[in-house]
Amino acid sequence: MRYPCGLPGALVPWQDLGSDAPLAVGATSLEQDQRRDIENRADIERLVETFYTRAMADVVLGPIFIDVARLDLPAHMPIMCDFWENILFGARKYPGGMMMKHILLHRQTALAPHHFQRWLDAWVETVDDLYAGERANVAKVHASRVAVAMAARFEQMPGGPPVAAPPPYLWQER
């Protein structure tokens, strides 16, 4: 399911569309009645690994993760799992510093609202493909808050050169 940008620079926060919202179709999607809530660290690891596998292959996000951030996925996975375990289970494992890492990335290549929208769309689709329930909704709502906050902050500061122009459909009004 897509949550479109609409006008340039406008990020649409994720919102629960209710039980009649269609299930996003992905490579690892489950039938709606087979999905369960995120219950433990193993579920978070599955979610984060599936998300990053998709994001690294994405035409917009992939070049940022691979060419600019040079993301070392095996090293990054435990950090991201700690972050989400903090959010979903109050684990207090993640030490912080997310914003500064993204500011440094923004200085290398300008991170624009369409990047955060694309990230959010991919995250929500991945969550919806794998899980359903209260924690799954918390994961989507928190991701929306992060995406909106970062997009707003980075619009106010200069960034580095763009990696590539966004595909035209991201900027077309629907």
Tens of pLDDT, residues 69-108: 888 889 989 999 999 999 999 999 888 877 888 888 888 8
Q: What is the extent of the structural domain holding 146?
A: 36-163
Half-sphere exposure of 74 (CA within 13 A, CB side): 0
Nearest to 125 by CA among 50, 74, 57, 71: 50
pLDDT at 46 over 70: yes
Q: Burial, 50: exposed, middle or buried (Cβ in 10 Å; 0-12, 13-18, 19+)?
A: middle
Bridge partners, residue 36, by sequence: 131
The residue-averaged pLDDT of 26-33 equals 52
Tens of pLDDT, residues 110-157: 888 999 999 999 999 999 999 999 999 999 999 999 999 999 988 887
* Number of domains the chain is built from: 1
Tokens of 166: 């966004």
Q: 61: domain CATH number? A: 1.10.490.10
Strand (E) or helix (H) holding 79: helix 73-89
